[in-house]
Chains A and B, each alone.
Chain A
Amino acid sequence: MPEKPKVAFYWCASCGGCEEAVVDLAEAILDVVAAVDIVFWPVALDFKRKDVEAMPEGSILVSFVNGAIRTSEQADMAHLLRSKSKLLVALGSCSHLGGIPGLANLFDRESILNAVYLESPSTVNPEGSLPATHHKDDGHTVELPRFYNTVQALDQVVEVDYYVPGCPPTPRIFRTALQTLLGDELPAKGTVLAPDHALCDECPRKDTKPERLSFVEFKRPQQVLIDEQECLLAQGLLCMGPATRAGCEALCVRGNMPCSGCCGPTSRVKDQGAKILSSLASLVEGKEEAEIDRILSTIPDPAGTFYRYSLPASLLHRKKLDGCHCKNR
């Protein structure tokens, strides 16, 4: 019997949802297990880093890495898996674009650590100690990973072959991606393994979207009784669908919630947030500045809305740091 292709999974700065997504394959996971040999999967199997280090270069067919890169350890693991794998695949929004952890790029390391370890009301830290990379205790030195100033998408740290989008990728997207990767014909390097058009194309409410859309107010889902048939943008809800890659079959919209943009932009767009912003802003009804301001003020968190999953990979990348920009890490 020929040797089965070796597959690895790893997680970086993520919530664990992408691991769930693998499990969400349900019965299909048996087919996967039958077809491949999982050589590394810290969340489920007891392999250690040294096991990976012992593997020959390029011996893993595909490594799926989810999560963004936020610490030095994650960057090290990304490099390690890159060298051991033929194909490195970014799985899920965080790895693909930076994801929700990437919103930390609106701050810097210092203010994040202060908020978490000193300022939060539930914190008791009378000595004001903060995480450090080295700690000496009883003659021993303990080393901890370094916490970067900036969250990065996987491909900003190592070369990435393919991307599986979504937060998390839906079972269908993941299954299709697996089939593609295990198949004979690989798509062009750098391909996002999902359709390359926007979500509206597969949205069940597409026909109800008016030709002349305009906004006098943006509403949040909890403020209105959402009609289950009508285009959400037409109801004044901020749906990211027009600027978001399809493939998820509009699951959120089917669940009567607006698309939040997790699959990222199409291949033609460098900055998903800028694109939806430019599109929606063009459709704001007001002519006078005060009226426009009023309409736009109904979007309480523009950065977190338009760049929810894509800030590190966007043209903006992060909030400007004071002083030298080489302080990136």
Chain B
Amino acid sequence: MPEIRSPGDGANREPPRVGVYVCHCGTNIAGTVDVKAVTEYAAKLPGVVVSRDYKYMCSDPGQALIQQDISEHNVNRVVVASCSPLLHEPTFRRVLSRAGINSFFLQMVNIREHVSWVHLDKQAATEKTKDLVRAAVRRVSLHKPLQKRRVPINPNVLVVGGGIAGIHAALTLADAGKQVYLVEREPTIGGHMAKFDKTFPTLDCAACILTPKMTSVGSHPHITLWTYSEIVKVEGYVGNYKVQVKRKPRYIHEDLCIGCQECITACVYKEGKTPDQFNLGLSKRKPVYLPFPQAVPQKVVIDPETCIQFKSGKCKKTCVEACGERQAIDFTQTEKFEEIEVGTIILATGFKTFDASRHPYYGYGRYPNVYTSLEVERLINAAGPTGGEVVLRDGTRPKSVGIIHCVGSRDANTNRWCSKVCCMYSLKLAHLIKERTGAEVYNFYIDMRTPGKGYEEFYDRLLDEGVHFVRGRVAEVSDWAVHPSEEGKLVIRAEDTLAAFVRRIPVDMVVLSVGLEPQADVQEVRRLFNISCSTEGWFLERHPKLAPVSTFTEGVYIAGACQGPKDIPDSVAQAGAAAAEALALIDAQFVELEPYTAFISEEECSGCKSCIPLCPYQAISFVEDKKKAAINEVLCKGCGTCVAACPSGSIQQNFFEDDEIFEEIEGVLAYA
């Protein structure tokens, strides 16, 4: 790796000969800033040898202007006053490189986003531009030559989350021959999709399309699948992440268990006593269990909270007996930590559903026959607690069902966002409930949102099927009968905004179409991977339009509903996109890192250790024999935290040294 700073730079440097280039950006800048006046002003600044304006500085002729001045006028420092450096800094750095001078002898002044696009007063905008140009001219004179670092990319990929997005991303990468680690916190992959019976709008069976992908993951030679596991530590940087994975004990040797489930049959509990999480508590499971029949991996789990052996140590251990020679059961198992090295990471950690009890006036948790939509998904599912029968708590079939949309969505009291999938899944549930029970089904909606291929057609179909639609937000669900027809029923009270009166509709069953929310531990996960969240808690993409699966941390991508509410097709599409981004990085084989790293002057450091706990990348260590701090340049990402915090000013940052920053500030403030 080349040195970032050339030895002895700064000493005996040639005096700066600055070239200033002011871009019109068509009328984008020239419409608001008097570029001629700025150019003339810049020409008179100390150190400036040439000052030009041009219609499009980023165009080939514009670039040629700069290159020519470097060779003909010995320009050795360049200031380009144009758009944001995000857009064209790489362009102009290449110009400097081509002309044979260090590409970091460039300073860009953003006079488009920072001036012309935000000001109306032409004279004031021109004066501001002059101030900014003057600051850049003063700053660039102090720039030191720097070199970018090239680091290789580890081709292995970590995928976090084994829902449909994580599964799809993992398979795409593994099929491309990359080694993938898929880490899932639950004992099985499958995520929310595994709980569904049918998918909208095609009504194809969720399991039929999901389980083949799940088994492919389980058997893929390039996928290491770790379920019941969590990421606990992430270190390193793009291309070279070190990740620690905690593997929770399932008290079963995964390599020995063959998934025969004889232990479950043999368990001393004749019947399950613990609410089954996979069925959202609608059924009971035993202490030893398989989350659901098609679980991947097909390995049972023992829950130490309810297993008698763990609670009293005095169980007959009929499960061990049933397992026999396989000896897969191990009550002494403890959590294990695995260290892996990967180059890229895809986060597909999904969502959680809104807690319906936060809407007390809908009666969830109070009236037994008020269900959440996810619970009804399980009731409808042939592998669910009722074998696909939609029945009430007492086992009878409902004759009327009300589906309430937007529970925990589009609501100023809870979540303001639209959860995007609820209208469609509510329609799907309406169809399935009607099909299974013949009940009258009422949908209470605010707006029907069906943008998507075949979605509006599905809505039309439901209208034809005779499902009732009431436009209005439901005020309350109660068992308070005011009419004999309401006795023993749940009464849904809502204003029908199309008919302009308040309806009371008695039903046997209420389904709350709960919205999607960020996972509860999203902040911890965000910190772990050093990415950002929106205020709502969805992972933040680098750009909502142009970089929708990238994050602000290089090499970390996001896919699926962790980025925002999303249906299955969108999640899969994003997963594919994230996999493609990772593959593009892997195929490039190396990545160039900006040289904006911090460095410590060893003789100046007092060894006060203030910086050490602050580094988010663990790049600073204390060298015991010298009693000084040292920065590992490869790990440093140039965040500047230590630079700001070093109480003796002994840490500086390349390209952001104090003298450069102060010179820039003084330049701005030195009104002409």
Contacts and interface: CB of A to CB of B under 8 A. Distances in A.
Interface in B590-607: 603-607
B648 A214 contact: no
Given A211-B613, A243-B647, A278-B644, A270 B606 contact: no
Interface in B630-661: 641, 644-650, 658
A268 B612 CA distance: 20
Nearest to B624: A207
A212 B649 contact: no
A198 interface: yes
Interface residues of B, number: 23
Interface in A256-273: 265-266, 268-270
Nearest to A239: B608
Nearest to A276: B647
A215 to B, nearest CB: 11
Contacts of A201: 606-607, 627
Contacts of B648: 197-198, 242-243, 265-266, 268-269, 275
Contacts of B614: 282-283
Given A206-B627, A213-B613, A278-B644, A266 B649 contact: yes
A210 interface: yes
B617 interface: no
Interface in A264-313: 265-266, 268-270, 275-276, 278-279, 282-283
B646 A279 contact: yes
A197 B603 contact: yes
B533 to A, nearest CB: 15
Contacts of A210: 609
B645 A282 contact: yes
B609 A197 contact: no
A211 B612 contact: yes
A320 interface: no
A278 B609 contact: no
A196 B604 contact: yes
A212 B612 contact: yes
A198 B645 contact: no
Interface in B349-391: none
B647 A242 contact: yes
B327 interface: no
B604 A268 contact: yes
A275 B608 contact: no
A266 B608 CA distance: 14
A198 B606 contact: yes
Contacts of A206: 607, 627
Given A206-B627, A243-B648, A282-B641, A200 B606 contact: yes
Contact of B608 (A207, A242, A265, A269): A242
A199 interface: yes
Contacts of A214: 613
A246 interface: yes
Contacts of B41: none
B309 interface: no
A243 B647 CA distance: 4
A199 B627 CA distance: 13
B529 interface: no
A244 to B, nearest CB: 8
Nearest to B628: A201
A241 B649 contact: no
B658 A242 contact: no
A269 B627 contact: no
A209 B608 contact: yes
Interface string A184-222: 000000000000111111000011011111100000000
Nearest to B651: A268
Chain B binding surface SS class: loop
B213 to A, nearest CB: 40
Contact of B609 (A209, A276, A282): A209
B306 interface: no
Most A CB contacts (10 A, CB to CB) among B605, B609, B610, B622 go to B610
Interface in A77-129: none
B662 interface: yes
Contacts of A265: 648-649
A245 B445 CA distance: 69
Contact of B658 (A213, A243, A268): A268
A278 B610 CA distance: 10
A52 to B, nearest CB: 37
Q: Which of B608, B612, B649, B650 has the most C-beta atoms of chain A within 10 angstroms of its own C-beta?
A: B608
Q: Chain A CB within 10 Å — which of B603, B606, B607, B650 has the most?
A: B606
Interface in B47-89: none
A234 B662 CA distance: 33
A45 to B, nearest CB: 39
Interface string A228-242: 000000000000011
B645 A241 contact: no
Contacts of B647: 198, 242-243, 269, 275-276, 278-279
A63 B662 CA distance: 32
Interface in B323-345: none
A200 B611 CA distance: 13
A90 to B, nearest CB: 20
Identify the interface centre among A196, A199, A210, A242: most chain B CB within 10 Å of its CB.
A242
B226 to A, nearest CB: 30
Nearest to B629: A211
A213 B609 contact: yes
Nearest to A268: B649
Contact of B606 (A212, A242, A275, A276): A242
Contacts of A275: 646-649
Nearest to B621: A211
A199 B604 contact: no
A276 B608 CA distance: 12
Contact of B610 (A242, A266, A269): A242
A276 B648 CA distance: 8
Contacts of B662: 270
A212 B610 CA distance: 8
A197 B604 contact: yes
Contact of A197 (B606, B641, B644, B658): B606
Contacts of B650: 197-198, 266, 268
A198 B608 contact: yes
Contacts of A198: 606, 608, 647-648, 650
A71 B560 CA distance: 70
Interface of A: 196-201, 206-207, 209-214, 241-243, 246, 265-266, 268-270, 275-276, 278-279, 282-283
22 contacts: A197-B603, A197-B648, A198-B606, A200-B606, A201-B606, A206-B607, A209-B608, A211-B612, A211-B613, A212-B612, A243-B647, A266-B604, A268-B648, A270-B662, A278-B647, A279-B610, A279-B646, A282-B610, A282-B641, A282-B644, A283-B610, A283-B645
Given A246-B606, A275-B648, A279-B647, 17 more contacts: A196-B604, A201-B607, A206-B607, A207-B627, A209-B608, A212-B612, A214-B613, A266-B649, A268-B648, A268-B649, A268-B650, A276-B647, A279-B610, A279-B646, A282-B645, A283-B610, A283-B614
Interface of B: 603-610, 612-614, 622, 627, 641, 644-650, 658, 662
The 4 closest A-B pairs by CB, nearest first: A268-B649, A198-B606, A243-B647, A198-B648
